[in-house]
Structure 1
């Protein structure tokens, strides 16, 4: 009898699983295939080849994949390498509350390159990957101008509060906030364009909107009242750095692959007005795969005429952590983070940290998100290039997620890591 064991079969999307097969012929080539359908019915799939041992076992914690979508000992490789069957799609959980992703695992004898109706697996499992822990509460936020979703952990709290901001494609993206709440944070997934009655495109970044969001979060009785953390990626990281620089409510900031200056649009806060560095769209690259590379369109922040566009992070109340993929092909994030740290040190601010990851690309997300080197974007006629290498990027995601939680918990709540819910 052939057995396929997956543990746990129901878990948060950022939690690792163990996969073990037994009862197979000794020294047999097998194929493990993982697949799922997202909420739009799009198929994502991965595969890896393994050789059973002398007892007919395969343990992904110890045994190396010989081929397929990856090689080597990578227990989560089948999840990391899930790829869209239609090109340029990004796997993203939209409805985090009502259903998980169901990941189907199938074990085949011999080498299977493509699943067909003629092939039958000798063992199967279905794994539930949730983006919210039991007891987490979601509250729709429509207060004043602010639009978003607040996720609260179970219990009375108070919990460290975090504002979670994604990039310039807009909309309301909730999966990172729901996972943060699942690990003990009161997390506000904040929309700022292309959602509800918000503007359809980003013209001026008004920091008063983000200050209002911070105050809404701090007024919640389940939120620690001394200040909030901010997590941002891409354009959201730029906004997070601006919030840290100007808003006294911000106590700790995580900038994931962002810039150190105002770019493209203008920024305003009360009497302050900063015109952004213009995008140099003539430097947009079209790759051999037909995708766009945005890296070189951001202006040189060292030019004297852009001096006033540089964000004064030395004024930030609390520490700042830059998480950087060294193979980011959307922004030159490593250069921007180094410039930010150098500026902070010039002004005597010692709590700005840069952690860069060789081989990692732009979309550094929680570990439940598979590697996405390129995907279609709403605002561009061609897909955008994000960059990175599969194994290096996905290992970086695990480290970044752990460091983000530790950094926020220590610098907002003043306590070490808690056990997961």
Structure 2
């Protein structure tokens, strides 16, 4: 390693997961070409990495906020490109970072661009999911299994129920950093294939638990969801009182897969799947988007969720390159239906070239991985650069939406790291 070359991460080598970091290199020769690399190991032990080639300026410095990558995992001026472009060398791997207590550790390094790429400098970025003072409480009460995150301070704070397809703490604790009390629960606590019906009562129980928390000040709760969690969120808004604001991300407008029960009665039939419409790609991953049957067909209308009877305000979010299902089509149908019924409490946003897995920003973009509910690799879609930009924009929009539409007795304060 060269004692002259310095790799700096500003404003700090430790930051929150959803915060940008400025990567700077100094002490190089004027106009020297180097390779900057990033690597990280996820919770499953899978390594992800990226690299980009940069040319120093006349002072021997590189600033990723200013200077373009000349080649590698991405090209152009992309300040956080080394993070979102990280990939595993193994096909169909998604970076697993779902547990709040462990930071996402990324190692940056600078290497000579010639020969064997001698190491010139390195630095470690600790990207924390939980800010100072945020509390984490595992919850196992009645039919609820989840994790509760509470911001520091006395509150009162607005409350958000995070319904995730498979258990993850990432989005919930990052929202808690922003001044929300968040309970995250999975769509099901049972193994896929071991149950044949879904009960809305369990999610109502989670909502009621959340509202009872002493620091919660909002009269109703917000619900955030993606994928299969999306139709659960819509059903909560349509059938369960006390849901005030819903963020629906790349979901369905109908009850997908299993019959939905509430108070011991079936309220929605399942929208079914046609395996013959699945497309197998050369990589071995499947495009399942076209396998979902048409929810507007006569045979499927019993699965359509009656969101027109909801009092909640909606934020509908669709990625236009979602290969998991027709999120944009479902969004358009819901917007038209609400307009037809004279409902105006909704807004929508669409992201061209973004894929299904819209998450909090600065994580590695995933194009394909094993689907946690159906067990084989699927294509998620999305052009990495556009997808990464969509995540940055959406994350701010989610926070603004909930702060605007979850009425609370006091203004929520952000947790400071």
For normalisation by structure 2, the TM-score amounts to 0.94
Query: 1:360 and 1:136, CA in 2 relative to 1: closer, same or farther beyond 3 A?
Result: same
The 8 Å contact of residues 410 and 416 in structure 1, kept in 2 or not, is answered as no
| CA–CA separation in structure 2 for the residues paired with 1:63 and 1:32 | 12
Q: Of 272, 278, 281, which residue of structure 2 is paired with 1:278?
A: 272
Equivalence map 1:63-212=2 (5 Å): 63-97=67-101, 99-110=102-113, 119-167=117-165, 170=166, 172-194=167-189, 201-212=194-205
Cα deviation 1:341-369 (Å, max 9, x = unaligned): 10011111112222000010000000032
Query: 1:417 and 1:65, CA in 2 relative to 1: closer, same or farther beyond 3 A?
Result: farther
Structure 2: runs of 5 or more not aligned? none
Are positions 1:248 and 2:246 aligned together?
Answer: no
In the TM superposition, what is the alpha-carbon distance from 1:381 to its structure 2 partner? 5.1
Q: Of 338, 344, 349, which residue of structure 1 is paired with 2:343?
A: 349
The 8 Å contact of residues 160 and 185 in structure 1, kept in 2 or not, is answered as yes
Are positions 1:48 and 2:42 aligned together?
Answer: no
The 8 Å contact of residues 238 and 310 in structure 2, kept in 1 or not, is answered as yes
2:322 counterpart residue number: 328
2:211 counterpart residue number: 218
Query: 1:16 and 1:335, CA in 2 relative to 1: closer, same or farther beyond 3 A?
Result: same
Query: 1:79 and 1:64, CA in 2 relative to 1: closer, same or farther beyond 3 A?
Result: same
| CA–CA separation in structure 1 for the residues paired with 2:8 and 2:412 | 30
In the TM superposition, what is the alpha-carbon distance from 1:138 to its structure 2 partner? 0.9
Q: Of 19, 26, 38, which residue of structure 2 is paired with 1:22?
A: 26
In the TM superposition, what is the alpha-carbon distance from 1:54 to its structure 2 partner? 1.4
Cα deviation 1:356-394 (Å, max 9, x = unaligned): 000100000000322111012345453111000010000
Q: Of 11, 16, 39, which residue of structure 2 is paired with 1:35?
A: 39
Q: CA RMSD in A?
A: 1.8
Query: 1:417 and 1:76, CA in 2 relative to 1: closer, same or farther beyond 3 A?
Result: farther
Are positions 1:299 and 2:293 aligned together?
Answer: yes
Aligned length: 410
In the TM superposition, what is the alpha-carbon distance from 1:201 to its structure 2 partner? 4.2
Instruction: Between 387-396 and 318-327, report the one with greater CA deviation.
Output: 318-327
In the TM superposition, what is the alpha-carbon distance from 1:417 to its structure 2 partner? 8.1
Instruction: Between 118-127 and 388-397, report the one with greater CA deviation.
Output: 118-127
The 8 Å contact of residues 35 and 104 in structure 1, kept in 2 or not, is answered as yes
